[in-house]
Amino acid sequence: MVYLFQNPDDERLFQRHRIVDPSSSVLIKGSGVDTDTFDVREEEPGPPVVLFPARMLWHKGVRAFVDAARILTQDGIGVRFVMVGDTDADNPAGVSAAQLEQWEDEGILEWWGYQDDMVDVFAQSHIVCLPSAYREGVPKVLIEASSCGRPIVTTDMPGCREIVQDGENGILVPPRDGKAVARAVRRLIQDPELRREMGERGRARVCKEFSIEHVVSSTLEAYENLLAESAASPTH
């Protein structure tokens, strides 16, 4: 038997509690992304767009994102904060449509709802922000964002930090810290060259470690090893 893990934090947790044997666990980061589809496009002109692409759940970091938007809006920074994703009324952690519309009415952010063409959405963004406050597997949306050459602001949490190397292809911040999110976003807004450099490094990292070809190859290798071990085991 083989156990597949998407991030090393979960792998270590299961091994530490002796749920799995180290010899039976395999680390494959994420589900892969089509780097031909999620390709780099030039930034669009106009005020920078900070994109939050996720289901509208509090533990995805909605509060920190909104707090950062409020801080930079009040400081007169020319920026648009955009949330893309559907609500989830059946989830206790769901953010209501009424709350999202209230923030829109206040002029803090824009809520675009569910979008099925994320390639186009990423092309309209300048910075992608997911200040998640809980353990992720590996957020595919952040892999897609990096593949599109966008710098990322996210939290130093399992899964998220597998994609972002702090200062290289994005900025890591503590969870539930809107001020830290605001500082990171402000830095990227004020430095277009830094955004470009981080985006390029993110794209290169995805092509090397998170492409669909890499993930498929690693997954097939894990199963081939398992089949080889099974064939070598004595029958009973």
Residues 105, 9, single domain; the answer is no
**Domain range for 111:** 49-206
Q: Is residue 39 part of a domain?
A: no
Let me know whether 11 and 97 are in one domain.
no
Does residue 200 carry a pLDDT above 90?
yes
Least confident stretch, 54-63, 106-115, 204-213 = 204-213
Same-domain pairing of 67 and 124: yes
Query: pLDDT per residue over 177-197, tens digit each?
Result: 999 999 999 999 999 999 999
How many domains would you assign to the chain? 2
Q: Do 53 and 164 belong together in one domain?
A: yes
pTM for this prediction: 0.86
Q: How confident is the model at residue 80 (pLDDT cuts 50, 70, 90)?
A: very high
Residue 37 lies in a domain: no
Please choose, from the candidates 44, 41, 120, 46, the residue with its C-alpha nearest in 3D space to the C-alpha of residue 79: 46
Contacts 24+ apart (CB under 8 A), 174-178: 175/61, 175/64, 175/131, 175/132, 175/133, 176/61, 176/63, 176/64, 176/131, 176/133, 177/64, 177/131, 178/63, 178/64, 178/65, 178/66, 178/67, 178/68, 178/70, 178/71, 178/131
* Spatial distance between the Cα atoms of 38 and 143, rounded to a whole number of angstroms: 9
Indicate if 80 and 136 belong to the same structural domain: yes
11 and 75 fall within a common domain = no
133-157 tens-digit pLDDT: 988 878 999 999 999 999 999 999 9
Can you tell me the distance from the alpha carbon of 142 to that of 152, in angstroms, rounded to the nearest whole number? 7
Q: What mean pLDDT is reported for the chain?
A: 91
Is 233 domain-assigned?
no
Residue 74 CB coordination number (10 Å): 10
Do 180 and 216 belong to one domain? no
Q: Does 89 lie in the same domain as 191?
A: yes
Question: Domain for residue 38, yes or no?
Answer: no
Residue 191 maps to which CATH number? 3.40.50.2000
Mean pLDDT check: name the lowest of 10-14, 36-40, 67-71, 177-181. 10-14
> What pLDDT sits at residue 231?
75
